[in-house]
Structure 1
Amino acid sequence: MLTRQRKQLLLKILDEEGQIVAKTLSESLGLSEDTIRRDLRELAKEGLLQRVHGGALPASPAQANFAVRETISTDAKPAIARAAAALIEPGQVVFIDGGTTSVQLARALPRDLRATVVTHSPSVAVELVEHPHVEVIIVGGRLFKHSIVACGAQALEAIAGIRCDVFFMGVCSLDPEAGITTGDYDEACMKRAISATAQRTIVLASPEKLGTAAPFAIAPLATIDGIVVSGKTDAALLAPYREMGIEVTLA
């Protein structure tokens, strides 16, 4: 089998099965595991999949820039945002992450909600300018243009002094084995730091993010309290999260 044919076959299997286990696939195809792993490495360099321990997962489309991500899951994201907003209690200090679903969450906050929102996302802050009862605290730093959020040492220092009740985390990818991952090292550090100071961490996961992986680990799934997903998500896809004791909210 030619190299190009092998790679096309690997992508076909990944699309159909949602993952590749290198050892199992090498046995079924009669190819060496080294050959499979080499092909996976090359496909990962092309951005066609994400290498994980023992094989590969689909690459997350959420690694695209902000403008492109706004065109993905346009029906699911507002629904997820409304379900997340319903989890907020009056008087809480809430940290809202950056990202397109997070912007939808800011828009979905009830007009009579009295709370404090902390964010390092200018996009989220602007959405709350006209909200009559929400106090907004903006964390500053170097602007990471991909996600339109502040990051860096100044932002981390500010986060260390905030103890929020709940952190709504936006992610590139979520997978039972790969955990929570994103496409930028500094952004992963920021999300991990916010989560560490929050009483609860809830992940906002639009459909394209489930069962995918990105290069940089944020945290294992054991560190989060809940996920909010589309109500149309396959129950089998959500079963591993529920088995881990993670609260799953359907939007």
Structure 2
Amino acid sequence: MLTSQRKALILDRLRRDGQVIAKALADDLSLSEDTIRRDLREMAAEKLLKRVHGGALPLSPDLPDFSARQAVSSEEKRRLGAFAAGMIKSGQTAFLDGGTTNAEIARRLPKDLAVTIVTHSPTITGELEHHPVAEVILIGGKLYKHSMVATGAAAMAAIASIRADIFFLGVTAIHPAHGFSTGDFEEAAIKRHIAQCSAETYVLATAEKLDAASPCQILPIKGVSGLIVPSDIPEERLAPYRNAGVPIFLA
């Protein structure tokens, strides 16, 4: 088997299983464990995976600060935001998580839409300043500056008193085996709590968030009502998520 074929197989295993065990893969392919370990080292240097003792895990995405992410307003994010905004109906209570993609939802809400928007992100509330008929509820607490959202016990208690019709969850990574994840333990707990207090939960995902895993799981892959992705993502990348039973919406 050629080196390129082995590396393609390793990436397929990572997408499918969420991990690669060097010894098990070597046994499956009737190769030496040293050969597989060498492949994993090279792939880690190429930033294709994360090396760990005995094997490899999917790469954790970089976490630039909020200001850096805010400066990138891609056409992908705008399409996702417009699609999600169209899902919010008059009279509903919608919870918007923090993040630059969810900010696009707020920007694209019709100005005459009578809804209640709940958020724990002060930056999201700023986007809703010129929506005269929208009720806006800002959840307070300890500010997690990286994502500009409130966390902690006070935020948890306030969220528990609200039942949202729809929640748009922000994540840093999505994987068929590892589910939806983010880089901070406290933020993951808040996101999970909001989902538990909401009738439906949807995730807007740009292409780079797929097939990756961050340290802190928010929800398993079947824990959301749907995944909203750009329409130009190849079907072969979406197949593992469809096979896992996640409804996918193309924006």
Give the deviation of 1:212 after TM superposition. Answer: 0.6
Q: Which amino acid aligns with 2:66?
A: F
Residues 59-99 of structure 1, C-alpha deviation per residue, up to 9 Å, x if partnerless? 213x2211232355712111100111111111100000001
Write the distance in 2 (CA, Å) between the matches of 1:52 and 1:155.
Answer: 38
Counterpart of 1:21 in structure 2 is 20
Q: Which amino acid aligns with 1:92?
A: Q
The change in CA–CA distance for 1:82 and 1:25 in structure 2 (over 3 A counts) is: same
Q: Percent same amino acid among aligned pairs? A: 39
Write the distance in 1 (CA, Å) between the matches of 2:224 and 2:54.
Answer: 22
Residues 115 and 133, structure 1, Cα contact 8 Å, conserved in 2: yes
Write the distance in 2 (CA, Å) between the matches of 1:130 and 1:115.
Answer: 14
5+ residue gaps, structure 2, are: none
Output the TM-score relative to the length of structure 2.
Answer: 0.83
Give the deviation of 1:188 after TM superposition. Answer: 0.3
Residues 73 and 207, structure 1, Cα contact 8 Å, conserved in 2: no
- Paired residues, number: 237
The change in CA–CA distance for 1:223 and 1:39 in structure 2 (over 3 A counts) is: same
Q: Which amino acid aligns with 2:243?
A: E
Asked if residue 115 in structure 1 is aligned to residue 109 in structure 2, the reply is: no
SS at match of 2:222: helix
Output the TM-score relative to the length of structure 1.
Answer: 0.83
- Root-mean-square deviation (CA, aligned residues, Å) is 3.2
- Match runs of 1:23-172 below 5 Å: 23=22, 25-27=25-27, 30-31=32-33, 49=50, 55-61=56-62, 63-71=63-71, 74-172=74-172
The change in CA–CA distance for 1:53 and 1:208 in structure 2 (over 3 A counts) is: farther
Residues 148-180 of structure 1, C-alpha deviation per residue, up to 9 Å, x if partnerless? 000001000111111000000010001111101
The change in CA–CA distance for 1:72 and 1:177 in structure 2 (over 3 A counts) is: farther
Give the deviation of 1:242 after TM superposition. Answer: 2.3
Counterpart of 1:244 in structure 2 is 244
The change in CA–CA distance for 1:165 and 1:54 in structure 2 (over 3 A counts) is: farther
Residues 37 and 55, structure 2, Cα contact 8 Å, conserved in 1: no
